[in-house]
Amino acid sequence: MKDEISFLDHLKELRARLIKSLIVVGLFFVPFIPFANEIYLLVSSPLQQILPANSSMIATEVASPFIAPLKISFFVSLFFSIPYSIVQIWGFIAPGMYEDERAFAFGIFLSSLVLFYVGVLFSYFVILPLVFNFFTSSAPEGIVLMTDISRYLDFIFSIFFCLWGIF
């Protein structure tokens, strides 16, 4: 028979694992801040390739130029800390499973990790160019596209995480 622990002990372990995951996100966050501009150029290239040559992103709020690099660094740190977070989830769930359940669940966790990265790559190289091409080509005559950087980042990061759910 398996060792049983109380509900409160489960919550304490869950809390500890969540804190560890947040610490890892923070450890990834800090080093990415100096590279936020380079990451922005990479992330914005699907739209920049479709926009006219004289187009640029705009900031409609006073804090947007400050918040955008932080937002980029945060989402990239989430992107790189997903494997650790999945290991923490696995470490919390696995002790309560039978051996055959563990083997099955481990495959699911491993495939979800691979599919997350495949989904992000698919959305970056396939979905985003198609979406931006459709949006820009369907605009009425005389409309000048001026994309707000904050809304753009929200849009693409939501696409990335939505496609993880689809994959």
Is 85 domain-assigned?
yes
Tell me what pLDDT residue 3 has. Answer: 65
Residues of the chain with pLDDT under 50: 1
Q: Is residue 138 part of a domain?
A: no
pLDDT recorded at residue 116: 86
Q: Is the residue at 140 inside a domain?
A: no
Triad 13, 162, 17: Cα angle to 5°: 10
State residue 112's pLDDT score: 86
Question: 57 lies in which domain range?
Answer: 7-129+146-166
Q: Using alpha carbons only, what angle is made at residue 16 by residues 20 and 92, rounded to the nearest 5 degrees?
A: 95
Q: Per the domain annotation, does 35 fall within a domain? A: yes
pLDDT of residue 1: 42
pLDDT in the model for residue 2:
55
Position 136 in a domain = no
| Residue 2 is assigned to a structural domain of this protein | no
The packing angle between helices 64-93 and 99-122, to 10°, is 160
Determine, yes or no, domain membership for 1. no
